[in-house]
Amino acid sequence: MRLKLLLAALLCLPLAQQAYALEGEQLYVLPPQGWVPAFHDAQGNVELVEMVPQGQSMSDWSEMLMVQLINGKPNQTPEEVLKAQQEQIKQACEDSGFGAVSAGMENGYDMAMQAMACTKSKKYAKGELNLFKVIRGHERLYILNRAWRGEPFDKAHLPVSPETTKSWLTFMSQALVCDSRDGQRPCPKK
């Protein structure tokens, strides 16, 4: 529910100030400008929101942002979550490649980030690039995925520009978990 409220608030400027009224641990993420929610689901302890640029849809997208919250005290490290994602990509793709894991602390929480490439999906016959960021909160696990989908590619020649790569990394660096109750894990100011 916190993700739904925060994303909804961030999509509408007049409601943005309500986002700061949320109490407790929360994910702070600003969707890319012009992106719209394409899918939302909450089942059990998992909540998922997927966003695409305006004009794209869940069935026809070239860029996507996926944000997943898994409620409850996390029992996996961010690196373990990334390793499981690697295995899923290996199974789903004709060939795959994985960047180095970047791990550390961010605003007092364990975090890991990794780029993953699927040269050609067995299901969709398209290539996909993903930049995953996993944050282990105290109350839930947060998984962000910024994705590109297009023509199949050779992993030696990635199909996104250096500018796109830089913008993805900037986006991920601005997404963080905070806790309004804890001065050691402050939320961004208005």
Residue 188 belongs to a domain: no
Q: Is the pLDDT of residue 83 over 70?
A: yes
149 closest CA partner among 167, 130, 127: 127
Q: Is the pLDDT of residue 3 over 90?
A: no
Domain count, the chain: 1
Residue 181 belongs to a domain: no
Whole-number mean pLDDT of the chain? Answer: 89
Q: Which two structure tokens, joined as six digits, stand for 104?
A: 């550390």
Over residues 125-148, mean pLDDT: 97
Residue 142 belongs to a domain: yes
Residue 23 belongs to a domain: no
Q: Is the pLDDT of residue 9 over 80?
A: no
Residue 75 belongs to a domain: yes
Residue 110 belongs to a domain: yes
Residue 7 belongs to a domain: no
Query: Which residues form the domain of 99?
Result: 32-175
Q: What is the pTM of this model?
A: 0.88
146 closest CA partner among 82, 47, 53, 64: 64
Q: Is the pLDDT of residue 7 over 70?
A: no
SS3 content of the chain, % helix, strand, coil (to 5): 25, 40, 35
What CATH number does the domain containing 62 carry? 3.40.1000.10
Residue 4 belongs to a domain: no
* Percent with pLDDT over 70 in the chain: 88
22 closest CA partner among 40, 38, 9, 41: 9
Which whole-number Å values give the CA distances from 119 to 98, 140, 153, 158, 167, in the listed order? 11, 32, 5, 9, 21
144 closest CA partner among 171, 105, 117: 171
Over residues 81-104, mean pLDDT: 97
